[in-house]
Structure 1
């Protein structure tokens, strides 16, 4: 009996020894993750800092650590069980990350990176341990500032809610998309009124509430569903309240003053009500006898841990390495040219291809991008040519053979129009253009992205410059008469790249 006990003691090293090597490898893997996905991490932090909708993300990591600490007793009888087979789970999020990188969708890259992190944890720590720590691991999803794509939908839902409420209350109104007119004034359901900041904060709180006070999947799902639906409805009630208040005050401006601040107060009341409604159904009691962790298993050999670590490093680094190689092959800058503009009424051709339009001059810029460029680079170049959208009057020119996006900044007299082509078609910044160019960049074949910009500038020292409206009209006329330039951009975009 003693001999058997001695043999068992030799085969089962102390618990610290079981964790020591795995923790060292896990720390190295975490450092590798931070290095490979540093752009995603920095982009997320910048968003937390700059956007009021995501300020709560600063609390996500401390909350995840707290959730892990409250579950530390689950680790008392568990040990790490590295699994090289589970390292294969890294491949799907790695592929998703590469596709998001090629499409230029940072939010997709960040979500895929979180999925890749989960797969790394599974491979290095094992299924049983990750299952015991599922709540803090899953809560890390709220580190990603996701949801911006929902803003147009949330604006539309809020506008429809207000319209329905006004109809029920019998208040005269007229609704045109996101613009609501009542006898008290005109209201716009702007992006800040869409309720995104309420929704993402409520989801993060709802998940914490569900993981803390509930144990059954059904009740946790009910809490998350309530955290999703209630903020949307509450934001509609808030917006309706502002319009109704304006009707009684007789002033839209007075009712809308500080409505975002008041909205946070209303949101706080809604969260408190959600907490009170959920408390009678709480399940934060000790686990039942049959749910205790299984006893420690025999330790996994160093060779298995080393193989899992190698596979984690290879699979996690494959997609970023491939993306870096594709970006190097794309080149550092697009080919640029200054094409000749066709004269239009009131403008004459100049020797350098520009147009003399009296007090103004018009010139064009043509950019041809390598086939392996991502659409994010194309969209960024077009935005630079157009200028800062937040500070400019944006309008669209639909004249002639192309559709142009145009900007006119408030300071200065420059007015710019730009358009893009891909594979012989006009291209925007939507998913279709991004997906098409992502496939082109992966294969190195297909069309070349092309951007054309037309800038209308005043001559130096000319005090008789046309009004902003006259400049917009002139730019529309010039852009509508550039059939030759549009045809050249179309032809260039059809050429196969290498």
Structure 2
């Protein structure tokens, strides 16, 4: 199809705006593709841009009848998109920077080509958001629900189960729900394909939304059934089948069959294709775009796109190095640099860390761990899905269940901590050592349990040109001597929290703890 003259300059202007965008945010664009490459969870994202381009191509006849012209009102949409990218960069959040980049990309289309063209291409443009690798934060929750269903189904079919967290044993052996069992890959792929299926086969928004709901529920339920069947096949075959590679192969075969059934059923309610449209009437008052408005649109867009990058450069001035952490002085307690156990919390690449224990005659020893972060980045940040009480790949220390929040007395006022429990040795050894751990974050002079609050405080500090120092404080004790209600940890916190607060405040930028 020959390109209409009215489209030549607008498309060149859009290409110029996108070239400016990719030039300024190249690192963010590369980070998106890098996640596609290293994570099977987002392997489906490779097909999203080609599908979006194909959807635009199918609309070429209608687009040819339109007369694009810039709509400078869309400049306002670049401001929140750029702000999202800036905040994400300041707090080292891939999701925020990548969505900010995607929104800048999408907003540039109606900005340069006009709202009429943008509205007409709204689905292909929004569909591009599936290319942003987002959703892996659901993995722990999905793993928990998969374990819940599998254990429930095993017991319902007469198989005795002993469960601790995501690990359980049945008479034929031990099983664990790992990330590959969460179903996150099935879920994200199903939602993407289900959204496309609904758009192509249904005309009413009600049907499309209903099918999207089915596309969410179906992979969840299918994954639960898959996990149960894998365990049962292994159990009934004496662990000869459904283990190793077979585990993954059976899972994808089952998921594929479920998707085929879902789409086959969905086609029963498909709407007939609409009659071929002769074109979308542009209206008599839509002249061809002039060069001056196009140049103005590209120039203003480039300026707004460059503003977050410039602000980030100003807000990321080098900070002084962190001095080695030294233990706080607690009256009546003696510090020992040797940890209480061989357990190590799973906090990656801290700027500095401190690990040891406090002892006092007549009291149980209390383990003490601090991971301290300054000038945080993707490689070194406090709040991350990869950080937690249990280190990835630790086969010796196993979390025994979900963590919980509890209120504890700290001096004269209560604070909240996240409480967890870990268990050592093999799962079948019921007398293995157990640890009780209390965790809290420290940022902006206060203690918090919500990671998003710490992230928000760090972002505000960086926007003001201040430091983003933050830390995690973990206290732990042997559960066998800690008491049913964590008496040892409670006494330690109640007695020493004012001193710990003073010590943590000294860990701000420029301080010497």
Shorter-chain TM-score tier: 0.7 to 0.9
Q: Secondary structure at the match of 1:336?
A: coil
Q: How does 1:321-336 map to 2 (within 5 A)?
A: 321-328=310-317, 331=318, 334-336=321-323
Alpha carbons of structure 1 residues 322 and 228: separation in structure 2 relative to 1, 3 Å: same
Q: Secondary structure at the match of 2:134?
A: coil
Shift of 1:56: 2.0
Equivalent residue number for residue 53 of structure 1:
41
1:442 aligns with 2:463: yes
Q: How does 1:7-22 map to 2 (within 5 A)?
A: 16-22=4-10
Equivalent residue number for residue 174 of structure 2:
186
Gaps of 5+ in 2: 339-354, 357-368, 400-409, 411-416, 421-438, 475-492
Alpha carbons of structure 1 residues 419 and 442: separation in structure 2 relative to 1, 3 Å: same
Shift of 1:140: 0.8
Contact kept? 1:80, 1:126, Cα under 8 Å: yes
Shift of 1:150: 0.5
Q: Structure 2: how far apart are the matches of 1:227 and 1:384?
A: 28
Cα deviation, 1:52-95, whole Å, max 9, x if unaligned, reads 11122222211111111122122121121211112212222222
Contact kept? 1:83, 1:305, Cα under 8 Å: no
1:271 aligns with 2:259: yes
Q: Structure 2: how far apart are the matches of 1:272 and 1:337?
A: 58
Q: Secondary structure at the match of 1:226?
A: helix
Gaps of 5+ in 1: 1-13, 349-353, 356-363, 406-417, 455-479
Equivalent residue number for residue 256 of structure 1:
243
Contact kept? 1:82, 1:308, Cα under 8 Å: yes
Equivalent residue number for residue 505 of structure 2:
491
Q: How does 1:395-410 map to 2 (within 5 A)?
A: none
Equivalent residue number for residue 82 of structure 2:
94
Equivalent residue number for residue 287 of structure 2:
298
Structure with the greater alpha carbon radius of gyration: 1
1:72 aligns with 2:65: no
Q: Structure 2: how far apart are the matches of 1:302 and 1:18?
A: 11
Cα deviation, 1:345-365, whole Å, max 9, x if unaligned, reads 8889xxxxx99xxxxxxxx99
Q: Secondary structure at the match of 1:187?
A: strand
1:433 aligns with 2:459: no
1:212 aligns with 2:233: no
Shift of 1:375: 6.7
Q: Which stretch shows the higher mean deviation, 97-106 or 338-347? A: 338-347
Contact kept? 2:28, 2:97, Cα under 8 Å: yes
Q: Secondary structure at the match of 2:175?
A: strand
Cα deviation, 1:398-441, whole Å, max 9, x if unaligned, reads xxx99999xxxxxxxxxxxx997423345789222111111111
Shift of 1:334: 3.1
Shift of 1:265: 0.9
Q: Structure 2: how far apart are the matches of 1:265 and 1:81?
A: 49
Equivalent residue number for residue 444 of structure 2:
423
Q: Structure 2: how far apart are the matches of 1:395 and 1:202?
A: 32
Equivalent residue number for residue 415 of structure 1:
none
Q: Which stretch shows the higher mean deviation, 118-127 or 429-438? A: 429-438
Q: How does 1:140-151 map to 2 (within 5 A)?
A: 140-151=128-139
Contact kept? 1:420, 1:449, Cα under 8 Å: no
| Structure 2 counterpart of 1:307, from 285, 290, 296 | 296
Q: Secondary structure at the match of 2:168?
A: strand
Equivalent residue number for residue 11 of structure 1:
none
Equivalent residue number for residue 199 of structure 1:
187
Equivalent residue number for residue 472 of structure 1:
none
Q: Structure 1: how far apart are the matches of 2:335 and 2:3?
A: 85
Equivalent residue number for residue 381 of structure 2:
379
Q: Structure 1: how far apart are the matches of 2:398 and 2:470?
A: 21
Shift of 1:45: 1.1
Shift of 1:374: 4.5
Alpha carbons of structure 1 residues 440 and 187: separation in structure 2 relative to 1, 3 Å: same
Alpha carbons of structure 1 residues 311 and 382: separation in structure 2 relative to 1, 3 Å: closer
Q: Structure 2: how far apart are the matches of 1:15 and 1:57?
A: 30
Contact kept? 1:104, 1:376, Cα under 8 Å: yes
Shift of 1:197: 0.8
Contact kept? 2:63, 2:280, Cα under 8 Å: no
RMSD: 4.6
Shift of 1:171: 3.0
1:244 aligns with 2:232: yes
Alpha carbons of structure 1 residues 340 and 171: separation in structure 2 relative to 1, 3 Å: closer
Alpha carbons of structure 1 residues 136 and 384: separation in structure 2 relative to 1, 3 Å: closer
TM-score by length of 1: 0.73
Q: Structure 2: how far apart are the matches of 1:320 and 1:73?
A: 38
Contact kept? 1:337, 1:366, Cα under 8 Å: no
Alpha carbons of structure 1 residues 82 and 390: separation in structure 2 relative to 1, 3 Å: same
Q: Structure 2: how far apart are the matches of 1:428 and 1:391?
A: 24
Q: Structure 2: how far apart are the matches of 1:303 and 1:186?
A: 70
Contact kept? 1:234, 1:267, Cα under 8 Å: yes
Contact kept? 1:87, 1:122, Cα under 8 Å: no
Equivalent residue number for residue 124 of structure 1:
112
TM-score by length of 2: 0.71
Q: Structure 2: how far apart are the matches of 1:242 and 1:488?
A: 53
